[in-house]
Structure 1
């Protein structure tokens, strides 16, 4: 199998999507791939015991009101108390006759809350999580989540149609053991594949008479000028040149320039673990230089909540960061609307010392967000049908745009957000406002509609996505595939220990708490912790994926 297999795979997927998506480039209009659900598939098992139940895809899903307990991590930009305040879910309950009892976890990324939930064993009917692409199969193979393949065939006509029309997507979703454990968020348009990207204060660049940074050396020069040039003009050296909420974001921004990455990546068909390669040391040495000179946020390890980054931006101290178009670029611009010069620009991925340039924040058509169903749920069939509704034409519209006549209007066949979103009467910024009406297509089990982002993104964000999109390289990125049960049993605990060890030492090297004289010992310890055996397993999984 050649190293170009992933590009071939991406091309096949693009062709498959083109067959089911109608896109009018000049007008920006498009139809979702699930816009015309197929008729319910013939059941793969007997209908005995199903007399009187609605057919798959029919509404309402149940005759008598049913409540499903659903766990989800609270979104920091949602200003309500309960997700049932969102118009989209109010409308959805009326259509399906299913009420959702939201159980909201907390935390900057929800990892600890999710781990506590799963460790406790009391799993609600539905579990939504930002990394279900990995955690769904892991806990599913342990018996915590339902294996969904037979349910999808019998009770999920909308979702099944998407998988049937996109075999490469089905391949990504299905585990090496041939199982499916989640209903995922889907990016079925190339515009949605560009997610977080580097952003910098354009007005500060202009004040300092600097160009947008292109190379690693440019970034150092610009960050140094921000540190020393007092671009906020308050006479105090309080600028934070590069702000981050964790080391992963920093490495995914600058790592590809050094031909490395956060964790697993692919180099000419060979799977590598970044910290085990020489390029990773070079990257950390460069980051240590930034940190030691005060060019990198000194509190990135503790200020991990989005509110800290927001505070640094809105107090006119942050110079650059990596972030989303909406919750970062647009929200910050809204929050700084009274600032006389505030302006952001997105940058290309930096070019490294050897000319390497790659975008490290791209998504796959299969997103990481997803919803799994508890194996202990007494309402598995109803839960499947409710989740399948999320992929219907009406479900996609509700999840992306909210309720027609409230948060959007159809204008010449195009869903246009109303002033309730972009000129909110209660003073909410666009992100907060939109999330009061809908859950957002990018963070839920549905199809992310590009028309959502076409409006949500500022002109600067659209330009930024065009800049970085051409540097997506699927050949370099390790795909969101899962291991077989046997493979997972072999590496899970080993990899957990290695990640803990990696985090401790990588942060130590960057922050100067550990000398780079220890680096060879760090690599040797990874070897003793059996990283080479883990890499071999991931290589096997990758080769099997290419050969599916």
Structure 2
């Protein structure tokens, strides 16, 4: 039932960040007590419901999913919450993919701001860093302790969340959307064809050496029995966090990821210059030269990768990387595959990436300078972040799409015939475009669907080998962000070119020193200094 974590493509700085600086110098330093002065509103109840004594209308800007057919104001979850709080929302909702970013930019440029930007897609990091210091977004850090006890509790119990939403100027400009799920701690899983192992009387490989021998057997012995040499011993989707090879380098002592950034014991490093990264590439080149790796692994897209896995006439993948087996090989072949535990490398290392088990979007709820009722607005989102309210806005009203069991757990009502679960979920609630706080204690009470159960089974296999070395989700200093955008473009492009080249053509040993020198010329040391200084600031937030 938990929301699937957004695919981890690594820490990417977008080109949009470059527009930050032009807008960051004006407006002066916003003061949190400026907003506090606005909150002396006799219409607001300090605690309890309703939030306001007399009805209040606020304007929210948000997005809506393609599965949402009703306007927000007609949805049961929204209408019930309006009745409880006495606050009516005037919704300015833009369908996903229908020009919301441009519309949002015009709101800021024209001064026609809503009272609140609502939902995980409502504001990006560069919006917070640009418009917060200009005074167009209200600082919340002094208001939260007074008017948002639920949110304060979340921040107190989860220090990393507070660190991640605190801007370089020390202010908090938005309340994040948070949806936990232990299954999200695991990224890609490597699956091996157990049917082939059994047919060829092979044991499950536990080392990189044994793995190579198994792949050779898969290649040479027609394990799918169709009389064709169509077996692909190993395939993956290069550069993809859920179908790729980032964790594989853990068998050589270095865990890689899409950003090639690692933070261990307070020190930030670039994984693509580490010895383990180099050794893993040399090993993959050894496999590639023997025809053990899919010749298209570095070039095919998701559709081709999946299509090959589902090819008629027998399974062709011996080992593949994926999120769920049927995603890649379909339901016809999925039962042939089982998870392959992390392999022990030549030096005895055996590691796999662990990720933060959380979907996290900073832009959940931000109050603008146009809002004359920040106290009531903050009390509104604090109420929404209580367990039942967040669940009902995310998964639908209790008794309609969600059910509450006698033991305090939650499950799904049966999905009507002819309707998908996602359509049902969004029939009476905003669903995945709603701000929400669904934390691990709530997740523990939620009925797990089959996909989540499977992912938790995979997690149990991989957990003993998992280590979280990823660089955290940080709000960067705007000037640093601008500089990183420039540096990262050249450096990441170069690394992305060289890794496949070395796997396919070899000679990493002969070219490694030149590679390191070129990265230095591109500004790698400067880039890492920026990452380290922002990491140190992040760690200093209390």
Shift in Å, 1:528? 0.8
Distance change in 2, residues 1:280/1:51 (3 Å): same
1:345 and 2:338 matched: yes
Distance change in 2, residues 1:282/1:447 (3 Å): same
Shift in Å, 1:530? 1.7
1:90 and 2:75 matched: yes
Counterpart-to-counterpart distance in 1, 2:122 and 2:191: 23
- Structure 2 residue runs of 5 or longer lacking an equivalent are 1-32, 83-87
Counterpart-to-counterpart distance in 2, 1:443 and 1:126: 7
Q: What secondary structure sits across from 1:272 in the alignment? A: strand
Shift in Å, 1:131? 12
Counterpart-to-counterpart distance in 2, 1:295 and 1:245: 15
Shift in Å, 1:162? 1.0
1:521 and 2:518 matched: no
Tell me if the contact between 1:214 and 1:348 (Cα under 8 Å) persists in the aligned partners: yes
1:402 and 2:396 matched: yes
Counterpart-to-counterpart distance in 1, 2:434 and 2:248: 25
Shift in Å, 1:465? 1.1
Structure-to-structure mapping, 1:248-397, within 5 angstroms: 248-249=240-241, 250-260=244-254, 261-262=256-257, 263-267=260-264, 269-305=266-302, 307-315=303-311, 316-324=315-323, 328-329=324-325, 336=331, 339=332, 342-363=335-356, 367-371=359-363, 381=374, 388=382, 390-397=384-391
Aligned to 2:159: 167
Shift in Å, 1:360? 1.0
Tell me if the contact between 2:176 and 2:360 (Cα under 8 Å) persists in the aligned partners: yes
Tell me if the contact between 1:238 and 1:317 (Cα under 8 Å) persists in the aligned partners: yes
Aligned to 2:28: none
Tell me if the contact between 2:138 and 2:366 (Cα under 8 Å) persists in the aligned partners: no
Distance change in 2, residues 1:282/1:236 (3 Å): same
Aligned to 1:13: none
TM-score when scaled to structure 1? 0.69
Distance change in 2, residues 1:148/1:455 (3 Å): farther
Q: What secondary structure sits across from 1:470 in the alignment? A: helix
Deviations 1:163-191 (A, max 9, x none): 13333542344345423354434466756
Q: CA RMSD in A?
A: 4.7
Distance change in 2, residues 1:376/1:141 (3 Å): closer
Counterpart-to-counterpart distance in 1, 2:77 and 2:97: 22
Counterpart-to-counterpart distance in 1, 2:228 and 2:123: 41
Q: What secondary structure sits across from 1:149 in the alignment? A: coil
- Residue of structure 1 aligned with 2:461, choices 446, 461, 467: 467
Distance change in 2, residues 1:152/1:435 (3 Å): same
Structure having the higher Rg = 2
Shift in Å, 1:455? 3.9
Tell me if the contact between 1:252 and 1:361 (Cα under 8 Å) persists in the aligned partners: no
Deviations 1:12-71 (A, max 9, x none): xxxxxxxxxxxxxxxxxxxxxxxxxxxxxx997135574546778856899577664434
Aligned to 1:414: 409
Deviations 1:191-235 (A, max 9, x none): 653454333444444344444443333443444444444444444
Counterpart-to-counterpart distance in 1, 2:434 and 2:287: 33
Distance change in 2, residues 1:340/1:522 (3 Å): closer
- Structure 1 residue runs of 5 or longer lacking an equivalent are 1-41, 75-80, 107-112
Counterpart-to-counterpart distance in 1, 2:520 and 2:252: 22
Counterpart-to-counterpart distance in 1, 2:525 and 2:69: 48
* Range with greater deviation from structure 2 (386-395 or 530-539): 386-395
Q: What secondary structure sits across from 2:473 in the alignment? A: coil
Tell me if the contact between 1:163 and 1:170 (Cα under 8 Å) persists in the aligned partners: yes
Shift in Å, 1:445? 4.5
Counterpart-to-counterpart distance in 2, 1:241 and 1:468: 22
Counterpart-to-counterpart distance in 1, 2:73 and 2:205: 41
Q: What secondary structure sits across from 1:105 in the alignment? A: coil
Structure-to-structure mapping, 1:221-240, within 5 angstroms: 221-240=213-232
Counterpart-to-counterpart distance in 2, 1:322 and 1:57: 50
Counterpart-to-counterpart distance in 2, 1:442 and 1:465: 28
Aligned to 1:179: 171
Distance change in 2, residues 1:457/1:526 (3 Å): same
Tell me if the contact between 1:257 and 1:356 (Cα under 8 Å) persists in the aligned partners: yes
Aligned to 2:96: 104
1:447 and 2:441 matched: no
Shift in Å, 1:523? 1.7
Distance change in 2, residues 1:374/1:191 (3 Å): closer
Aligned to 1:45: 36
Counterpart-to-counterpart distance in 2, 1:284 and 1:70: 45
* Range with greater deviation from structure 2 (255-264 or 205-214): 205-214
Shift in Å, 1:441? 7.8
Aligned to 2:499: 506
Counterpart-to-counterpart distance in 1, 2:122 and 2:293: 27
Q: What secondary structure sits across from 1:480 in the alignment? A: coil
TM-score when scaled to structure 2? 0.70
Tell me if the contact between 1:192 and 1:450 (Cα under 8 Å) persists in the aligned partners: no
Shift in Å, 1:494? 1.7
Q: What secondary structure sits across from 2:345 in the alignment? A: coil
Counterpart-to-counterpart distance in 2, 1:145 and 1:197: 44
Counterpart-to-counterpart distance in 1, 2:525 and 2:310: 45
Q: What secondary structure sits across from 2:467 in the alignment? A: coil
Aligned to 2:23: none
